[in-house]
Each structure stands twice: as C-alpha cells, then as structure tokens.
Structure 1
Amino acid sequence: MPLKHIQLKKITIAIDGFSSTGKSTVAKQLAKHLGYIYVDTGAMYRAVTLFAMQQGFIDKDHFNVDKLIAALDNITISFKFNETAGFAEVYLNGVNIEKEIRTLEVSQFVSQVAAVSEVRSQLVKQQQQMGKDKGVVMDGRDIGTVVFPDAELKLFMIASADKRAQRRFDELINRGDKVSFEEVLKNVEDRDYVDSHREDSPLRKADDAIEIDNSDLDLESQFKKVLELVNTKFSN
C-alpha cells in the first residue's frame, strides 16, 4: 500500500547522485504519485551527446567542442508522455530518441559533453523554465546545487560502484545489448570521476541534501523512505 500524503502546497524536489543510483526510477515514482512534472535532465545531456555523435563532433578519438557549441541553437529537446510506457520520452528535433540515448556508447561520451560550460548553461536555463511553477521532480547531477538551489527537498542518491554497474549491466542485457560487466563497471567509474572533477558544476552533495544509500534497498523500500521525506515537507 502506498503511503498517503497531504498535499498542501507544491514544492520542488531535486534528486542528485552518481550514475545508475536509481535517481530516475524514484523520480518517476514520485512524480506519478504526486501528479507532478518529471524532468530527466540526464536524458537532456544524453540527447545533446547523441546529436554530437550523429554530427561527427565526438567519437573515441576526438571531441570538437567548438563545433558542438556553434550548433547548440540547432538542438531542440522535448518530452512527450507515452501512455503505454507510462513515462515521458525524449525527443531530439522532433524525433523520439528514448532508446538510442540509453546505450553504453552514449554513456561513454555523455560526461564529456556535460562538462562543456556552454552546454550546461543552455540546458540549465531550460530546466529552470520547466520548474518555474514548482510541482516538479527533477533528477540529475547539479539540480540541488545549481538548477534549484532553493528546492524544498533535496536528495542525494549513492550506491557502491559494483551495485550500480550490475544494475546497468542487467538493464542493457535485458534490452538485448551485447556488453560485458567489466566495460559497464569501467564506464560507471569513469563517469563518476569526470562528473565529480569537471570545472563547471561538478557533482557534489548540496549542504542541505539528504543522502540515501540504496545499495541494499529494493524499489519499494526506497520509494517508501523517500515518500516519508516528501510528506514531512508537506506537513511543515
């Protein structure tokens, strides 16, 4: 049985954390339960990454940052709710790219693209616009520190690298992708380093964020724990 909540006001919920910590999963659950807007900011950076790959701006041997920056005005990212899937899918310039952006290949480049200040600046403005009226659940790397530093509830999700890699590996295998656990683990560790060490908006826990280690939590237990924190904000 889901916990009941008394919704007296609309709030902003910011969920940050490392890759594959289940941020999107719990954010989608919360948004659906509360009737809030859900914004997957990681998908927005993945969309820009896919665009860069399609245009030949980035591959394993080079990254032409200047060309990507010059092309930013040609990138339109939107979300459209898929009633069958039960969540909003990502569109790049009018084309559904939900499946394409979830590949390990995109994951290998997304942290590099997300480290570009001009990319971050453009997407942060869009994200702030999406959440200007509150009633939003947004997950990413800098939501509680940069996008919505005044969010009423900030969560910071963590889990061991091995647990996160196993989750990501299982997800990719179930999709039919041919990957090894070792390359998925390396991708997780590499992304952790780049996300934490970039100059612009590095991944860090906001001072007032509540840390949740879900290494050993199932989805139901995690959602129950988070919803209790949400309800505390509504009753204040």
Structure 2
Amino acid sequence: MIKKITIAIDGFSSTGKSTIAKLIAKKYNYIYVDTGAMYRAVTLFAKQNNFVGKDFLEKDKLISKLKNVSLSFKFNEELGFAEMFLNDKNIEREIRSLEVSQLVSKVATISEVRKKLVAEQQNMGENSGIVMDGRDIGTVVFPNAELKLFMTASADKRATRRYKELIDRGDNVSFKDILFNVEERDRIDSTRKDSPLLKAEDAIEIDNSDMGIKEQFERICTLIDRKLQEN
C-alpha cells in the first residue's frame, strides 16, 4: 500500500493556493480542504445575521451563535472539486464576493472561530492523504505535516489576478478596491494575535509572482514525489 502524506499549503491571499491544491488533490487522489472557504462561510453567516460589517464586529453575538454554524464540503462532479455548504446550503458563489473578502480577516481574528474550525480541520486530516490550504495549516493545524509550502507573490500581481477573476465572472469591482483589500488582508492576517500568518520554519517558499500554474504544479509535484519516496 502506497503511504499517503499530509500536504499543508499556507500563504498570502490570492496566491493561487486553492488552484494548486485542487490540482494536487486530483493527481494524487487526495482529499482537498479549502480552509479559507470555511472562514468565509462563517463570515457570510455573521454578515447575514448582522454580526459584522465594514465598521463593526459583534464578536460576542457571533461567538454565542457558532453552535448554529454547520459546515460541510460536497463534491461537485461537474466542477471536479468540493463546494462549501453552510447549514446544507451551497454558498460557494456568495463567499467569493469582494464584500465577504473585505470582512473575512476580521472574523478570522476571533479565537473561538479559529478554535472551532481548527478542530474540524484536524478531524478531516486524521488519516493523511490530504491537501489543505490556508493561513495556519503548517504552523497550527498540521505542524507535523510531511510537506509544507508557503505561497507568496507581490501584492500588485495578486490584486491583478483577483481583479481578473471577479471581472470574468461578471462582478462590478475596481482594481483599486481589490489592491486595497489584498494589502489590508495581508496586514490583518500577519498581525493578529491568534495564529498569525507565518511561514513555518520547515516550509518551502514558492514566490509565484512570475510563475505560471503549470510551472508551479510541476515544481510542487517534484517535491511531493520526493517526500513520498522518503516515506
């Protein structure tokens, strides 16, 4: 039986972590978990209940209602990846909006939210054979992961990618707003007290500012194959 490993992918927003993770999961037949989608789902729940907005955060109210938040991933055969469900409702499109993007880092600073989601993420990865991307996977969720990657790119390049993605799907957004959001999320994610975005000491950094998906994928597959041979 071929041994499977845990692959932890951390990094800044809009570095293509999810895209690469999905490709890896498909090639190696691993489970893929988009932890960012989980934080976005809780953010959408908070927004729907008026617990969070641009200028406010009703932290205690959100914490008191976390027991009412049920998250699950359901595989979509047509798309080839699992979509995020909140209380049995598909919210994949809603959580990718700029509005949710502008609020998610604020919600992600809440320790009780992180505790709930980290516990769920660790349960998902009990048997290895998993690719998980996020902000604290290699440092908090799976500190013993066999392979840890840290994705980075310039803020301008990341904002350009995110802008194109949203425009292509028909959203009315401005590049200036996207760039501000990218830089603000970097600041909040890197400075929060609970599980800040950090590169794990044993993580391999991949700066994809000037790297295409194919080149990244091939480089990462080489790293995975090497790890599988070691194990």
Same fold (TM over 0.5): yes
Match among 15, 38, 55 for residue 21 of structure 1: 15
Matched residue type, 1:211? E
1:80 alignment partner AA: K
Deviation at 1:54? 0.2
The partner residue of 1:46 within 36, 40, 49 is: 40
Any idea what SS the aligned residue of 1:151 has? Answer: coil
Match of 1:4 in 2: none
1:207 match: 201
In the TM superposition, what is the alpha-carbon distance from 1:8 to its structure 2 partner?
A: 3.1
Amino acid at match of 2:106: Q
Q: Following superposition of structure 1 onto structure 2, how do residues 1-236 of structure 1 map, counting pairs within 5 Å?
A: 8-236=2-230
Shift of 1:46: 0.0
- Cα shift at 1:125: 0.1
Q: What is the CA distance between 1:235 and its match in structure 2?
A: 0.9
State the identity as a percent.
66
Question: How much does 1:77 deviate?
Answer: 0.4
Q: How many angstroms apart in 1 are the aligned matches of 2:172 and 2:183?
A: 19
1:78-106 Cα offsets, whole Å, 9 max, x none, are 00000111110000000000000000000
Q: Structure 1 CA distance, aligned partners of 2:113 and 2:122?
A: 14
Structure 1 gaps of 5+ residues are: 1-6
Distance 2:110 2:48 in 1: 18
Shift of 1:136: 0.2
Q: Distance in 2 between matches of 1:56 and 1:49?
A: 10
Q: Offset of 1:230 from its aligned partner?
A: 0.2
Structure 2 SS opposite 1:203: coil
- CA distance in 2 between partners of 1:60 and 1:230 (Å): 41
The SS at the match of 2:167 is helix
Aligned length: 230
- In structure 2, runs of 5+ residues without a counterpart are none
Q: TM-score, normalised by structure 2?
A: 0.99
